[in-house]
Structure 1
Amino acid sequence: MSTNTENEILACQQGSILTVTLNRPAALNALSEDMIVQMRQGLDRWAVDPSVALVVFRGAGGKAFCAGGDIKSTWAHRADLTCNDRYFYNEYNLIRALYYFPKPTIALMDGITMGGGYGVAGACRFRVATENTKWAMPETGIGFFPDVAAAYYLLRAPGSIGMCLALTGMTIGPEDALYGGFASHYVYAAALDDMMQALHDGADGVAALARFHKAPMITGPLCQHQDLIDECFSEDTPQAVLSALSRQPSEWAQTMAALLRSRSPLSIGVAFERMKRARGRSFDQIIEDDYVIARRFMRGNEFFEGVRAVLVDKDKSPKWQPETLENLTETDVLPLFETLPGNLANGFKG
Structure 2
Amino acid sequence: MKLESGGFYVYGASHYGQALLRYLEKIDLLPLAILDRAPRFDSYCGVPVEVFGDQEFATDLPVLVTILGFAGVTESIEAKGFTNIVETLDVFAAFPESLTNLNECGVLWMQAPASSQVNVSKCEQLAPLWADATSKQLFDKIVRYRSNPSAEDYALPEQYEMYFPPQVKGLYDYPQLNVLDVGIYDGDTFAGFYQRYGERIEKYTGVEICVSNVEKLKARLKSMSLPEDFIAVERVAVGLPANAALVVNENASASTVEVVFDEQVDSEHTVEAADLGELMNRVQCNILKMDIEGADYDALVQAQHYISANEPTLALSLYHRPQDLWEIPLLIENFAPGKYDFYLRQEGHWYLETQFYAVPKSL
- Give the TM-score category using the shorter length: under 0.3
**Higher helix fraction (1 or 2):** 1
Bigger Rg over Cα: 2
**Higher strand fraction (1 or 2):** 2
TM-score between both structures, scaled by the size of structure 2: 0.25
TM-score between both structures, scaled by the size of structure 1: 0.25
